[in-house]
Amino acid sequence: MSPEPLSRPSRIALRALRPAPAPVRPTPRATRWRVTGPADHPLVRHLRRQPYPAAGPEADVLVLGGRWPAGGAGVLLDAYQRAAGRQLTLVHDGAGGGSLLRGLGAGDGRPVGTVALGDPTPAALRRAAGLLAAPSAADELTVAADGTVHTLGWRAAPLPGRAPRFAGATVLVTGGLGGLGSRLAVALAAAGAVPVLLDVRTPDDAPPDVRRMLTLLRRRCPRARLLTLDLTDPAAARAALAGLRPTAIVHCAGRIAGGTGVRLGPAEVDALVAAKVATLETVLATVRAKRLRAVLTFGSLTAHGAHPGLAGYALANELLHRATARYAATHPGVRCCTAEWSLWSGAGMARQVARVAARHLGMVPVPVATGVAAATRLLAALVDAPPDEDLPDSLLVCSERPGTQGAWSGRPEGVPGVDAALVVPAGGDLDMAMRAVAEAAAGGAALIPDGTAGPGAPLLVRATVTGDGVDCVVRSGADPDGPALRSSRYRLLPAGT
């Protein structure tokens, strides 16, 4: 059973990332490793003190530090090529890069892994060394100081309910002449803000729909401004933004490149990172934080999971999230959040490149009007939040739509551990719903049931592709992370069986 057409009304669903304990399966034998990284890095020193095994699984290890290095894409791509089919594990202290590596590995069917190492205690170093040949994971493994291992989980998060009121506040919008930036500026003006749009293009270079948005913006807010500048040029940014004291920043700038079967080179990946991350860092370094209350950056769910063909774009969004979090850590008076969006319908950079993949995976695009309204409310919540309010630093923003069996969310792309989900009302046809979700998760592959367990009154069905099958688990909609009420496993069959 294939998902229904994506023409039904949809609504926004938010999920906040959170650490989740990761089961660790130790390798049966000691790993024979080849390490590339700074000689003074604690893990490199730890590995080189260990006796080298005469036999065992082989793994290449690339070690990076706390910041993504200049030319980092070339470093990672070179290490991937040198591994020549062996498992490559990236270990870093905050630099990131796992999204690029996972995309490469998924495209080639090669084993890869990413380990984030915080405090390099002896327990953490021993655990990290034991993960160098661990089975590939859907997302990054994080090793804590006590040696425990976590990955990313998620929890449902409410969309702020209060109507946004900005009362003349200046809001800086980077990428202001993009499809999303221009529409968001109009919505902010309608809520009382004074948008200042930044873009490297001029209105003459913008498409017709953006020019229409600019006309509407001038009508709604005559004080709105457009500054034409290249944010990858710090000197030009300092001159153009001198004296600007915004209350909030919304970072929509960026580029996209890639697609099915496309492999980007280091220079192309570095350009994607510069368009997303260097532009943000320039603005944050230029604008004084004294009056700044909120920073909302527009990322992508591609930062999580593995995305062949979009690995460079995924890296840019991963590093954007890390840059936003670093700024938040050093500016506690500024509320910061990365909105990691799914595919947009009718606007956004990824809509053309990812359209075919979205149709194949059953993703539900975020309608432009719905997404812009959600972004406006998110920004208002950040601006108004008291200092002691606990807000997530990252939100996965997906879309859902009603279907005959319940609220279909398609594949919540990038949500770790979940390949498809369906909310089923009490009394619904659970067997039909479970098979539908399993088929969506398997990408339409043929399936046969492989056992069920446990009665119950299910409300939420989730499916995850594992090995040669698809595992479906039913949980209460009131407690999505609670005990399973029922489960089924479907075995994957070759196409045409």
Q: What is the pLDDT of residues 284-337, one digit of tens each?
A: 999 988 899 999 999 998 898 888 888 999 999 999 999 999 999 999 999 999
**How much is the pLDDT for 58?**
77
Tokens describing residue 199: 């873009």
**How much is the pLDDT for 7?**
33
Q: Which residues are CB-neighbours of 450 under 8 A, at least 6 positions away? A: 469, 488, 489, 490, 491
Q: What is the pLDDT of residues 431-485, one digit of tens each?
A: 776 766 666 555 544 455 544 333 444 357 777 766 556 777 777 656 666 777 7
Tokens describing residue 53: 């095994």
Is 313 within 8 Å of 272 (Cβ atoms)?
yes
Other beta carbons within 10 Å of 173: 29
Q: What is the pLDDT of residues 352-397, one digit of tens each?
A: 544 544 544 445 667 788 888 889 999 999 999 887 777 788 888 8
**How much is the pLDDT for 6?**
26
Burial of 39 (0-12, 13-18, 19+ CB in 10 A): exposed
Is 493 within 8 Å of 446 (Cβ atoms)?
yes
Domains plus CATH for the chain? 23-136 (no CATH), 170-400 (3.40.50.720), 418-493 (no CATH)
**How much is the pLDDT for 353?**
47
Whole-model pTM: value is 0.79
Percent pLDDT > 90 in the chain is 43
Which DSSP string do the residues of 143-169 spell out, in sequence order?
E-TTS-EEEEEEEEEPPP-SPP--TT-
Question: For residue 49, what is the enclosing H or E element?
Answer: helix 42-49
Q: What is the CA radius of gyration of the chain?
A: 23
Q: Is the pLDDT of residue 405 over 80?
A: no
With tokens 């991963």, the residue in question is 318
| Cα distance between residue 231 and residue 275, in whole Å | 8
Q: What is the pLDDT of residues 114-141, one digit of tens each?
A: 999 989 999 999 999 888 866 666 678 9
pLDDT band of residue 492 (cuts 50, 70, 90) is low
Question: For residue 307, what is the enclosing H or E element?
Answer: none
**Mode of pairing for the β-strands spanning 194-199 and 170-174:** parallel
**How much is the pLDDT for 314?**
92
Q: Is the pLDDT of residue 260 over 70?
A: no
Q: What is the pLDDT of residues 70-109, one digit of tens each?
A: 999 999 999 999 998 788 999 999 999 999 999 999 888 8
